[in-house]
Amino acid sequence: MKQVEFSKEIRQDLIRNIQEFFLQEREEELSEFQAAKVLEFIAADIGPHIYNQAIRDAHALLSNSIEDLYGLKKEPDNEKTTDTNIAISGFFVIGLHSVQHCLTVRKES
C-alpha cells in the first residue's frame, strides 16, 4: 500500500497534536523530529488498518444503498400490465422455439 502523504499544513497540525498529546498524557515533551517519527509510525503501521475499516464501512453502506434501490422497483399494478407481460413473454417463447428458421448475420454474408 502506498504511504500516506499529508500536505505541509496538515502534517504540521498532526505533529503539534502529537506533541500536545504526549505532553498532556505522558508529561513528556517531544521535539518536532520525534513527533514526526511517531506520525510516520502511525501512518505506516496503524493507517492501513484504519483504511481497511473505512473500506469495509463504505462497502457496507454502498451495499445497503444498492439493496435500497430494489425497494424502488416498480411492480405491475394492474391486470392489463400483467396481461401484456404474459403476451410478450409468450411471443419470446414462440420466437425462441423457431430460432432454427432465423437467418443469422453469418449465413447472410
Q: Retrieve residue 56's grid coordinates.
A: 469495509
**What per-residue confidence (pLDDT) applies to 65?**
78
pLDDT for 104 beyond 50 = no
Average pLDDT on 85-100 reads: 56
User: Roughly what angle, to the nearest 10 degrees, separates helices 32-41 and 8-26?
Assistant: 100
DSSP one-letter code for 45: I
Helices (H), 27-104: 32-41, 47-70, 79-97
- Give yes or no for a contact between 30 and 38, defined as CB atoms under 8 angstroms apart: yes
* pTM value > 0.85: no
SS3 42: helix
